[in-house]
A and B are shown apart, each in its own frame.
Chain A
Amino acid sequence: MTTTTFADRQVELTDDGFFADPSQWSEDLVPALAAADGIDELTDDHWTVIRFMRKEYLENGTGPNVRAHGKTSGYTEKQLYKLFPKGPAKVAARLAGISKPRGCI
């Protein structure tokens, strides 16, 4: 666990960079979080995906994996990877301030 500052706000992150407490997140943090993950320009598509992740998390307690995401968000898996080249499930989860998507077992 580490404490980091984004947009002048202190947040607790887990060792792999996810929000330890998703209630510390708000939308105004997203540009700074995106920059930290190498995304300089946030498009409407990014926002749609980030809000979708947040909503899924609040409803189900976990973000969707990429395939489920591709089937429900209106974006194909390919498009999701274009938007979040380092991995949509993880990066969009970090930007949406939710915990690491539960690995399926």
Chain B
Amino acid sequence: MPRNIVILGGGTGGTLTANRLRKHFKPSDAVISVVDKNRYHIYQPGLLFVPFGLAYADDLIRPRERQFKKGIDFYESEVDHVDIEGRKVFLDDGRALAYDALIIATGARIVPEETEGLTGDGWMEKMFTFYDAPGATALARAYNEFEGGRIVVNVADMPIKCPVAPLEFCFLTDWYFQEKGIRDKVEITYVTPLDNAFTKPRAASALAGLLDEKGVKLVTEFNTGEVDGPGGRLISYDEREVPFDLAVVIPVHSGAEFVGRSEGLGDALDFVETDKHTLQSKASPAIFAIGDAANLPASKAGSVSHFEGEILVENVIRFLADKELDASFDGHANCFIETGFSKALLIDFNYNQEPVEGHYPTKVGMPLLKESRLNHLGKLMFQWFYWHSLLPGRDIPGINPDMPTSGKHLN
């Protein structure tokens, strides 16, 4: 009898997991099913470039099913809930899928309506987000027409996907209005709930330095309680205010709603409670989580899903064979940070090691925590790589899930 492996979510993590599992299991050994609520796969890192006219949302989208290898069943539906005891997933359309192993890869979603006023008067007119395709496209129009004034870039609260993207957005905003020749008429302020530009000390000071160099003001420890569109103000819970003419807000994020509807599966924000080394859910040994859906203390980034993939697949195989799991995921993340003017920075870190200077993956490699053109090319190449290597689930020679230390300046 073939085993049933069900994967919820066919984005970055779900697709690469499905493809890796399909390579491992013969069709007679496993039926692999993927459920996703919509039929298009979007390359989310590309959204960063849309507001600046450097990419178009349509070019970032491909049919979801075509990213799967042959022999993977695709169900287009919302998930209603998981019956953990009964090992069954109930879909919105009434169907139920029984599983021997379940992988949750439904990512994180933005919840702008949770912040008072954000989706009220002025939403998509003077308050925008670039975290989805309609928002990024509307913002491109607004930037194109912008003639000067105060722009604020605000992270409403953590956690968010790709925590460096708002900083990249600030750097590119500086570049964009310099190119337009009106930088002197534009004031840019980065407003964050963190106590510095980023969480990890060495990267935070490097990034705060870059903001300063580019004339971007920094407001820290600001927990956005309300956005007043007509009055043009961000208001924090402790009653501080930041005025704006145009606000780019990264809304608060939650996990998928069905996680909340599945008793015992998720935390307060509907992220799946997951063991940070094995990727097994705490609710049941038959459930695993990958990517943004998991509540790990790691970045919510595509690179993390990629590094998790190899270990997750190994563990699903071991679980189905009644073997002990491999507890080796180290929280490895690797992010390019676009800084404008065709340059970028690279950071590489894990649960224990903060980003530091040096080179990646070895002493001869891309410079870490330092602006370079090579890193910018790396960032652009990543898109090709995403569709042709990462999603198909190929291993990349020289790039391993474990974070390398040989090129890093560790003291």
Contacts and interface: CB of A to CB of B under 8 A. Distances in A.
Interface of A: 64-69, 71-72, 77-78, 80-81, 85-87, 102-105
A103 B194 contact: yes
Interface in B206-247: 221, 223, 225, 237-238
13 contacts: A66-B223, A66-B237, A67-B157, A68-B267, A69-B268, A71-B269, A77-B225, A78-B225, A87-B238, A102-B297, A104-B199, A104-B297, A105-B299
B135 to A, nearest CB: 21
Contact of B268 (A72, A87, A105): A72
A103 B163 CA distance: 12
Contacts of A65: 157-158
B268 A86 contact: no
B199 A103 contact: yes
Interface string B188-205: 000000110001100000
Contacts of B159: 104-105
A81 B225 CA distance: 10
A105 B200 contact: yes
Nearest to B198: A105
Given A67-B157, A68-B267, A78 B297 contact: no
Nearest to A71: B268
A71 to B, nearest CB: 4
A86 to B, nearest CB: 7
A84 to B, nearest CB: 9
Contacts of A80: 237
A85 B239 CA distance: 9
A67 B269 CA distance: 8
Contacts of A66: 157, 223, 237
Nearest to B160: A104
A78 B237 contact: yes
B252 A67 contact: yes
B142 interface: no
Interface string B166-204: 000000000000000000000000000011000110000
Complex A-B, nearest 4 residue pairs according to Cβ-Cβ distance, in ascending order: A104-B158, A104-B159, A68-B268, A81-B237
Given A67-B269, A103-B194, A105-B163, A87 B252 contact: no
Contacts of A86: 238
B98 interface: no
Which residue of A65, A77, A103 has the most chain B CB atoms within 10 A of its CB atom? A103
Which residue of A87, A104, A105 has the most chain B CB atoms within 10 A of its CB atom? A105
B46 to A, nearest CB: 22
B298 interface: yes
Interface in B297-323: 297-299
Contacts of A87: 221, 223, 238
B40 to A, nearest CB: 29
Contacts of B223: 66, 77, 81, 87
A105 B161 CA distance: 9
A67 to B, nearest CB: 5
Given A80-B237, A81-B237, A105-B299, 15 more contacts: A66-B157, A67-B268, A68-B269, A78-B237, A87-B238, A102-B297, A103-B158, A103-B194, A103-B195, A104-B159, A104-B163, A105-B158, A105-B199, A105-B200, A105-B297
